[in-house]
Amino acid sequence: MTSEKKHERFMRSALAEAGKSIGQTSPNPAVGAVLVIGNRIVSRGHHRRAGFPHAEIECLRSFRRKVPKNATLYVTLEPCSTRGRTGACTDEIIPAGVNSVVIGATDPNPRHRGRGIEILRSAGIEVRAGVLAEECAALNESFNKWIATGIPFVIAKCGMSLDGRLTRPEKGSRWITSPTARRHAQTLRGETDAILIGAETLRTDNPRLTVRGRRQVRQPVRVVMTRSGKLPRSARFFTDRFAKNSFVYRNMPLGAILAELGQKNITSVVIEGGGNVLGHALDERLIDKVQIYVAPILTGGPIVAFGGRGAPRTHEGAHLERVKFEKIGPDICVTGYPKYDRGERG
């Protein structure tokens, strides 16, 4: 096995560790680490939640012995070099006797990027960075945007018919997608800091906006935006046990709401409707990612999934990159990242 393949093999193990706490660490990133001697992992660690030890520190402490000279520490994100809720990781790695560190992604914070690597190298530690860098960075796409801009990562999520409708024309069940797709969507909620809807969705659907069917998850903050402020006070939003974790923004632009949520350490927001809010977010180019469930049904319902002004010309539309299609029961889940490029020609 080449050294490159070896590094990738153990970095994937570190990525698996990081995956154990996705959605639980905000406003910190999810990070994993493994300590390797020869070709064997001797200790593992992951950052469990904000205020708990970081992944590399948990990994080293779990080893419970003096780190031998031939050991290598693999970590998915550059070790931090500043004190926050916990001490700087570099301050513990150096005295632990680690002689070799392999890093996935560099610190996305422009103020700190590369500093941890420099400190480790100055202490005589051999550092290799950039192993599976894209995969390691993708693990924390929400944190990466928020830490650099102060604005949460925005995901547009909805379930719609083949003709792009959010509702059925007739009375009765308001669901378009299958129970399987709706259960699948709970995973997204469980990995997100906040869910945002418009006032009409609150009035019509009285949604819970909570994570259900999953254990040990943080419930997301619930946000409703309204012009008039006339909202039904009997709605679950105001009366259930999560009411204190709910916020109303009256007559504020969506961009300003997102900025304020970012100041509250909210790193990711899922917009779940309705069509006017989704359309407005698209018009203002505020959407970073879409997760759309398409049901095999034509409804002709009145509510279009993405209303608003729309793109005047095809090349000015939001073209999706890194598109993925997944069959969820009878439905198709489409995920992708909008590219807003006015210079593009279709």
- 326 in catalytic set: no
Provide φ and ψ at 97, rounded to 5°: 90, 15
Provide the pairing of β-strand 100-105 with 194-198.
Answer: unpaired
- For 220, half-sphere exposure in the C-beta direction (CA atoms, 13 angstrom radius) is 29
Amino acid in position 113: R
- Put residue 129 in one of left, alpha, beta given phi > 0 → left and psi -120 to 50 → alpha: beta
Task: Return d(Cα 302, Cα 118) in angstroms, integer.
Answer: 58
Task: Return d(Cα 237, Cα 242) in angstroms, integer.
Answer: 8
For the beta sheet containing 126-129, the strands, ordered from the edge strand earlier in sequence to the opposite edge, are 40-46, 32-37, 71-77, 100-105, 126-129
Take residue 37 and report the two structure tokens written for it: 């001697």
Selected catalytic residue, list 56, 78, 191, 272: 56
DSSP 243: G
Is there a contact between 269 and 193 (Cβ–Cβ < 8 Å)? yes
Radius of gyration of the chain (CA): 22
Provide the pairing of β-strand 331-339 with 289-294.
Answer: antiparallel
SS3 at position 282: helix
What angle (nearest 5°) sits at the alpha carbon of residue 33, between those of residues 29 and 39? 155
Take residue 100 and report the two structure tokens written for it: 């070799």
Q: Is the dihedral of CA 198, 200, 203, 209 positive or negative?
A: negative
Catalytic residue set: 56
